[in-house]
Amino acid sequence: MLSLIKTMWLVFLHSFSRRETTQYPDEMPYYPPRWRGRIVLTRDPDGEERCVACNLCAVACPVACISLQATEDEHGRRYPDFFRINFSRCIFCGYCEEACPTYAIQLTPDFEVSEYRRKNLVYEKEDLLISGPGKYPGYNFYRVAGLAIKGKGKGEAECEEPPVDPHSLLP
């Protein structure tokens, strides 16, 4: 009998304590920037696509849900012809982000990827590309790479000498 009253008393006390339930989605919780959620493709500080279609994200993906094809513009700059992520397979492990040598692919705090039709979970490059650089604002791969692209000739990257003249006889 005593325990019954004690329990009711405890329940009564709880009606005055702070509520733990969050009113999601009216109330959005805080997600840290390094949260591993929906994947995006970012752009470099000049506004160009960062992805160079190296295929490292695709091969790192344990569920093989990334598929892409490389192509080039007329100046030799490489970018993906198509870039497809099947989010119905993605496990948000973040291996793709870790493998990416250009900071192009990044995971965002958004995890609300739910659809009535599975087909809508297949994201193409147009769906993945955002207009900013994401978490790494300053980095531009082509500024350090040796490959010449439009607006950056040989020897114009960071830490590079001007091109050598192989016909020169000078030591």
Partner 1 sequence: MAKLLIDGKQYEAEAGQNLLHVCLSLGLNLPYFCWHPALGSVGACRQCAVKQYRDENDKQGRLVMSCMTPVTEGMVITLEDPDSKEFRATIIESLMTNHPHDCPICDEGGECHLQDMTVMTGHNYRGYRFKKRTFNNQYLGPFINHEMNRCITCYRCVRFYHDYAGGGDLAAFASKNHVYFGRHEDGALESEFSGNLVEVCPTGVFTDKTLKEHYTRKWDLQTAPSVCVHCAQGCNTIPGERYGEIRRILNRYHGEVNGYFLCDRGRFGYSFVNAATRIREPRLRRAKEGALESVTKQALLAELGAAFKDREKVIGIGSPRASLEGNFALKTLVGDSRFFAGVADKEAKLVSLALEILQDGPARSASLKDVERCDAVLVLGEDLTNTSPRLALSLRQLVRNAPLGLAAKAGIPDWHDLAAREIIQDEKGPCFIATAAATRLDDIAAETYHAAPEDLARLGFAVAHALDPEAPRVADLSPDAAALAARIAEALRSAKRPLVVSGTSLGSEAVLEAAANVAWALSKEGQGADLSLVVPECNSLGLALLAEGGIGRALEAVKKGEADTLVILENDLYRRAPKKAVDELLDTAKRVIVVDHTEHATTAKAAALLPAGTFAESDGTLVSNEGRMQRFFQVFVPKGEIQESWRWLRELMLAAGFGERVAGWNSLTDVHHAMLEAQADLAAVTAAAPDPSFRVTGLKIPRQPHRYSGRTAMNAHINIHEQKPPEDPDSPLTFSMEGFLGRAPSPLVTRFWAPGWNSVQALTRFQEEVAGPLRGGDPGVRLIEPAPDARKSYHSHIPAAHQPSDGELLLVPLHQIFGSEALSALSPAIEQRTAKAALALSAEDSKRLAVADGDEVEVTICGLPRRLPARVVASLPKGVAGAPVGLPDLPSVVSLPERVRANKAVVR
Q: Which residues form the interface with partner 1 (CB under 8 A)?
A: 52-56, 58-59, 61, 63-72, 78, 84-86, 88-89, 101-102, 118-119, 121-122, 124, 141, 144-148, 154-155, 157, 159-164, 166-168, 171
Tokens representing residue 13 in the block: 């006390």
Residue 154 CB, nearest approach to partner 1 (Å)? 5
Tokens representing residue 89 in the block: 């397979």
Tokens representing residue 7 in the block: 């329990």
Residue 112 CB, nearest approach to partner 1 (Å)? 19
CA distance 35 to 83: 22
Please identify, using beta-carbon distances, which residue of 33 and 146 lies nearer to partner 1.
146
Residue 116 CB, nearest approach to partner 1 (Å)? 13
Tokens representing residue 151 in the block: 């607006």
Helix (H) or strand (E) holding 108: none
Residue 88: C-alpha distances to residues 31, 99, 131 (Å): 22, 21, 24
Please identify, using beta-carbon distances, which residue of 110 and 160 lies nearer to partner 1.
160
Tokens representing residue 5 in the block: 């009253």
Please identify, using beta-carbon distances, which residue of 41 and 54 lies nearer to partner 1.
54
Residue 108 CB, nearest approach to partner 1 (Å)? 19
